[in-house]
């Protein structure tokens, strides 16, 4: 999974590979060159998507049903259809989300930051959003968005086990997860549409922990956990929370349905 899955893919049609394309770029217009590069990228994404099922590691399935008012009902299952996590609630900044995994129950809730921040930030908040506080430094819009969207996942004793901030929406991948010990994960998405895209969970050291893809037709999201990563209870929580982000990435912010 850490290798180059795409490889070199030539432009489809017209009887030539990359070398042939390179030889013709001098005579092609900028529009034709852009179209050729676009075709190459689409072919690379399709090849990467089709090679997903052959990737080594633990294979999981995420099946999600959207209810009224944006309520999510989803289950994370093994390849043998055993449910290992269930998610219920609203995956937004104001709603509450519950996750059941490993015989335990967790609740995700919005963290209310008092006015006057960053001077009044709670201890450790700057590290949670990965933005060390600097005296007199003006906060960027990205930092403000992370603070305003901050949520914590707590266990039955109200102890935080992880934090989420940002969101995946309208072809923008901005949601991430931070742990109390300052480890973190980001979830970039590569692809032009839902049926050729792959989302990857990448940790703070650049290691690929898991990958997600949607089927060409109806069906659950397919997830492959990297063979170097152990499917711990913590990772089950991470995957159950982040799997809906892959689908939200392709939802237009102003439209009720998925972007085509």
Residue 256 has pLDDT above 60, yes or no: no
**Rg (alpha carbons) of the chain, rounded to whole number:** 21
* Mean pLDDT confidence for 95-120: 80
SS3 84: strand
Among 173, 147, 150, 174, residue whose Cα is nearest residue 162: 150
**CA–CA separation, 184 vs 66, rounded Å?**
28
What size, in residues, is the chain?
260
Largest CA distance in the chain: 68
* Mean pLDDT confidence for 5-32: 52
Mean pLDDT of the chain, nearest integer: 78
Predicted confidence at residue 81, as pLDDT, reads: 93
Q: Domain 57-111+150-248 is in which class? A: mainly beta
Domain limits, CATH 2.40.160, in the chain: 57-111+150-248
- pTM (2 decimals)? 0.74
Residue 201 has pLDDT above 70, yes or no: yes
**CA–CA separation, 172 vs 232, rounded Å?**
28
């Amino acid at each position: 999974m850490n290798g180059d899955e795409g490889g070199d893919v030539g432009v489809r049609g017209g009887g030539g590979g990359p070398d042939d394309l390179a030889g013709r770029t001098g005579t092609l217009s900028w529009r034709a060159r852009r179209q050729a590069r676009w075709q190459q990228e689409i072919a690379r994404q399709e090849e990467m998507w089709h090679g997903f099922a052959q990737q080594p590691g633990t294979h999981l399935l995420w099946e999600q049903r959207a209810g009224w008012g944006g309520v999510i009902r989803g289950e994370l299952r093994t390849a043998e259809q055993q449910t290992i996590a269930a998610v219920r609630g609203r995956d937004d900044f104001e709603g509450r989300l519950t996750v059941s995994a490993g015989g335990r129950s967790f609740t995700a809730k919005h963290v209310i930051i008092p006015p006057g921040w960053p001077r009044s930030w709670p201890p450790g908040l700057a590290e949670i959003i990965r933005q060390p506080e600097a005296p007199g430094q003006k906060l960027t819009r990205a930092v403000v968005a992370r603070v305003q969207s901050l949520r914590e996942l707590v266990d039955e004793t109200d102890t935080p086990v992880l934090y989420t901030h940002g969101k995946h929406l309208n072809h923008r991948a901005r949601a991430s997860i931070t742990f109390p010990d300052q480890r973190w994960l980001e979830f970039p998405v590569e692809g032009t549409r839902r049926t050729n895209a792959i989302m990857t969970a990448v940790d703070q050291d650049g290691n690929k922990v898991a990958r997600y893809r949607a089927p060409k037709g109806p069906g659950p999201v397919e997830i492959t956990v990297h063979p170097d990563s152990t499917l711990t209870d913590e990772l089950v929580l991470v995957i159950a929370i982040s799997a809906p982000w892959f689908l939200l990435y392709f939802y237009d912010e102003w439209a009720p349905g998925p972007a085509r």
